[in-house]
Structures are given as structure tokens and as C-alpha cells.
């Protein structure tokens, strides 16, 4: 009987230590490694903050600004609207390709029309069509512009899940109800 009591008491002691450790270090940690490049959006900032994640202190996240200021910023998790981490830079982005194609098409159109207006063909009875030459120039310019735009790299961001905010209702044991706000 003494062996069973010893095993039960050791098991209860281990469980009590585990519960105490979980209460001191809640599982509301953010899945970020210190030094990660992040983008933080809060209602107090005009533009999102691009920074490096430093640490989590309870329900507060601490960042080091990734810019000229190199300031240290801290925000409560409840303040943060959106938290994103960098997934690196990549090329072949739709926005720069479209912008390059649009600029190239405009330049090609102008150059095509200017060429048709100034150039004289070898047969003096004919002349270049401004519409057709402009359209050909626009198509060539769009292709060249899209090629140049595809070489532009931009940073991609991945959303980091934040702990959910939860509203709880509990009693204090005497029938008095309390409303609590918890972050889990």
C-alpha cells in the first residue's frame, strides 16, 4: 500500500508543477522567432510598422524598427489589428508586370505614331498607317515593359495568427456574476 501511495503522491506533485508552469507561461505565445522581419498594423500607427520581432513579455510584443529610426516599439496583443511575417522577396509579381506593360504600351504607341508621321516609305505612292503602326508599337512596348516588370522583386507577407479575444462570464462562488475579458 505504501508504494501505491508514493506513486499517487508523486503523480499529483508532477501534475501540480505542470499546472503551475502553464499558469505562469500561458500558451498565448505568438509563433515568431526573435529576429523575424514583421509588419505590424495597429490603429495608433499611420502606416504599418516594418520591424524585427524582439520578444514577447506577457501580453505585449516588442519590436525593433527596421528603418532609420531604429526605435523600440511595444504593443499589447489586443492593440494589434494585423501581424504579418516576411516570406522573402520574389519576382514575377502581377502589379509590376502590369505597370511595366502599361508604361511600355504607352511609350510604344507614341513612338509608333511618331514614326508613321515622320518616316517616308520607299514607295512614294504609299504612306504608313498611323493607327496600325501605333498599335504595333504599343504591342511591342507592352511586351518589353512586361518583361522588365517581371524582373522587379517585392516582399511577400504571411499573416501570423493572433490569440483570440474572448469574453467570459463567471461567478465568484457566492452567486455574484462577473464579466471577464481574456486573451487565449
Residues 29 and 114 in one domain: no
Mean per-residue pLDDT over the chain, rounded: 80
Q: What is the pLDDT of residues 102-118, one digit of tens each?
A: 999 999 999 999 999 99
Residues 100 and 175 in one domain: no
pLDDT of residue 21: 44
Q: Which residue has the higher pLDDT, 24 or 43?
A: 43
Stretch 23-27: mean pLDDT? 45
Residues 53 and 100 in one domain: no
Q: What is the CATH number of the domain that holds 73?
A: 2.30.30.520
Q: Is the pTM of this model over 0.85?
A: no
Residues 110 and 166 in one domain: no
User: Taking the CA atoms of the chain, what radius of gyration do you get in angstroms?
Assistant: 32
Output DSSP code: residue 48: P
Nearest CA among 77, 79, 37 for reference residue 54: 37
Which domain range does residue 125 map to? 94-152
Residues 161 and 81 in one domain: yes
User: Above 50 in pLDDT, residue 23?
Assistant: no
C-alpha dihedral over 103, 108, 110, 113, to 10 degrees?
-160
Residues 165 and 82 in one domain: yes
Amino acid at each position: 500500500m505504501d508504494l501505491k501511495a508514493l506513486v499517487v503522491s508523486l503523480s499529483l506533485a508532477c501534475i501540480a508543477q505542470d499546472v503551475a508552469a502553464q499558469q505562469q507561461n500561458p500558451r498565448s505565445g505568438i509563433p515568431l522567432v526573435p529576429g523575424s522581419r514583421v509588419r505590424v498594423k495597429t490603429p495608433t500607427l499611420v502606416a504599418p510598422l516594418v520591424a524585427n520581432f524582439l520578444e514577447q513579455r506577457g501580453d505585449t510584443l516588442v519590436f525593433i524598427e527596421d528603418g532609420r529610426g531604429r526605435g523600440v516599439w511595444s504593443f499589447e496583443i489586443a492593440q494589434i489589428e494585423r501581424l504579418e511575417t516576411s516570406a522573402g522577396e520574389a519576382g514575377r509579381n502581377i502589379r509590376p508586370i502590369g505597370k511595366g506593360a502599361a508604361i511600355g504600351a504607352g511609350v510604344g504607341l507614341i513612338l509608333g505614331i511618331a514614326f508613321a508621321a515622320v518616316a517616308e516609305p520607299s514607295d512614294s505612292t504609299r504612306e504608313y498607317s498611323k493607327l496600325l503602326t501605333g498599335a504595333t508599337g504599343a504591342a511591342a512596348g507592352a511586351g518589353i515593359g512586361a518583361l522588365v516588370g517581371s524582373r522587379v522583386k517585392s516582399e511577400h507577407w504571411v499573416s501570423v495568427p493572433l490569440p483570440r479575444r474572448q469574453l467570459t462570464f463567471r461567478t465568484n462562488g457566492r452567486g455574484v456574476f462577473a464579466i471577464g475579458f481574456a486573451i487565449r
